[in-house]
Structure 1
Amino acid sequence: MIESGRAMAGDGCAIAWRMDGPKDGPELGAADAPVVILSNSLGTALEMWAPQVAALSASFRVLRYDTRGHGHSSVPAGAYGLDRLGRDVLDLMDALGIARAHFCGLSLGGMTGQWLGVHAPDRFDRLVLANTAAYMGPPSGWQARIASVLENGMAVMTSALLERWFTPEFRAAAPDSIAPVREGLLATSPAGYAGCCAAIRDMDMRPVIGLIDLPTLVIAGASDPATPPADGEVLAARIAGSQLVTLDAAHLSNIEQSAAFNAALLDFLS
């Protein structure tokens, strides 16, 4: 089963989505399979989750979407807020008739997941927060990044981002895995990237993450310079009953350690 389309968020932004899952057939119960929503990181699109689709879609309907400003979603002008990114997910679920789902977000997607866990727990069964943080300050750093990308485009930061996203060993050993990520970065709209940078700039979930009352898995990367293991430890300490898994990876752990990431995900969701 493969479906795709664009759904309208409440403010008129079109959110591009794709659903993969069990083949149609009453014996498989494809239409009734639980849904897992995958939310991408800053500067990527739904394709970043390609290493997870085969593993998950045997048992789940896998809903990937492009965060606003990224991929094939619309690029509204101006700064975005984390609450808007969270409502985009709820609007997408409503448009597709999904009452409840599991949610897995990485980096910016994990920040969106934190917002959903606090503000819409009734819509989710299990929550996975990967390579993310409750706060990524200082705001001045994000403001400088916004100014740079709007003035100079995405190419100015692509190499530096790839160095932070993958360990040197992985970059040397797996150029075929790095290439599509580089292409995706270069294809990202500077305005959309800047809009989402503003959401991170203005985000501070530290006072409220303890309100999350969902079964939660936190995934950290041992060599992640963007959201270091300490950030994952903060999330796990403040979300009651959560689990913490640390992988031998940098920031995009779902790509660098896809087998271990998938094993942790399946174990938790099953």
Structure 2
Amino acid sequence: MKFTRINGVVLAHDIQGLGSDKPAIVFINSLGTDRRIWDHVVADLAGEFTILTYDKRGHGLSGIGQSPYRIEDHAADLAGLLDHYGLKNVILCGLSVGGLIALGLYKARPDLIRAVVFADTAHKIGTPEFWKARIEAVEMNGIEGILEPVMSRWFTPTYRTLDNADYEGYCNMLVRQPVPGYASTCAAIRDADFTETARSIAVPALCVVGDQDGSTPPDLVRSLADLVPQAGFEVIEGAAHIPCVEQPADFIARLRRFLNTLPGA
């Protein structure tokens, strides 16, 4: 685990394979989670790639910074972290708001990006009314007050069982996020529209989504794939919003197939 101050905010992160000539992959986590959602993926790819995972501002062990946020703030943090390590020509893999951050980074610093995997995300997510209600709810009752509806979007009914210790762990992950960071990131999602950026992407891309995703359903993710000129689109069966947790083997297999299409990867 490492900590680095970027744009006045301490970012908690892990990096493997730095200094090698291996391709670099950066994983960007979703709203209400931290970098540990990528553990299965990182373990499988370790040794083959330079891998960077991090907690975006307001999440995990990273600092909160000034609120409210914009997606551009999150993208600038990631650009600063990449510059800190001298990473270029990276492959981004962003889940949910992580996909918006990937779009924001492409808009600001396309020179850094070699390819993008958009997981369970879109160019615009939700409505202003939805995010207004979400912000008000967590500010009034804490994240615990939205636990059940959020989990119903994150995971399938099969996964959400009392005897699944992993499910309880991810519930804990959500409710232990800082309310200011969570609410500020909700505001960033509310105000984000990267439709034109998606149309401008000139690198290979893959859009994947769980077939039971309640946050960014398959049709919404397909609409992103339709905008991105070189994007493929794939659906992962038996998964909701976080397939890298619920169906890691399937997610990894699709990621590997995409990586194998990139020259030198």
| TM superposition score category, shorter chain reference | over 0.9
Alpha-carbon separation, structure 2, partners of 1:173 and 1:215:
41
1:260 and 2:254 matched: no
Shift of 1:14: 1.0
User: Contact 1:8 / 1:91 at 8 angstroms: preserved in 2?
Assistant: no
**Residue deviations 1:196-230 (CA, integer Å, cap 9, x gap):** 00110101112331011110010111111110111
Give the Cα separation in 2 of the matches to 1:138 and 1:33.
40
**Counterpart residue number, 1:269:** 259
Q: 1:151 aligns with which of 140, 144, 164?
A: 140
Alignment of 1:1-270 (within 5 A): 4-10=1-7, 12-21=8-17, 31-172=20-161, 175-248=164-237, 249-270=239-260
- 1:179 corresponds to which letter in structure 2? E
1:136 CA displacement: 1.8
The structure-2 alpha-carbon separation of the partners of 1:174 and 1:112, relative to structure 1 and needing over 3 Å to count, comes to farther
Q: Deviations over 1:112-154 (max 9, x none)?
A: 1122233322101110000001112311211121111112111
Q: Which runs of 4+ in 1 moved over 6 A?
A: none
How big is the shift at 1:238? 1.0
Aligned to 1:27: none
Q: Answer yes or no: is the 8 Å Cα contact 1:177–1:255 preserved in 2.
A: no
TM-score, normalization: structure 1? 0.91
CA deviation vs aligned residue, 1:186-205 (integer Å, no higher than 9, x gap): 11000000010011010111
Q: AA paired with 1:64?
A: T
Deviations 1:75-118 (A, max 9, x none): 12421001111111100011122123111010010111122233
Measure the CA separation in 2 of the matches of 1:73 and 1:20: 19
Q: How far is 1:31 from its partner?
A: 2.1
2:49 maps to amino acid? F
Mind listing any 5+ residue stretches in structure 1 that lack a counterpart? 23-29
1:102 to 1:173, Cα distance in 2 relative to 1, 3 A: farther
**Partners of 1:174 and 1:260 in 2: CA distance:** 23
Unaligned segments of structure 2, at least 5 residues = 261-265
- Name the SS for the 2:91 alignment partner: strand
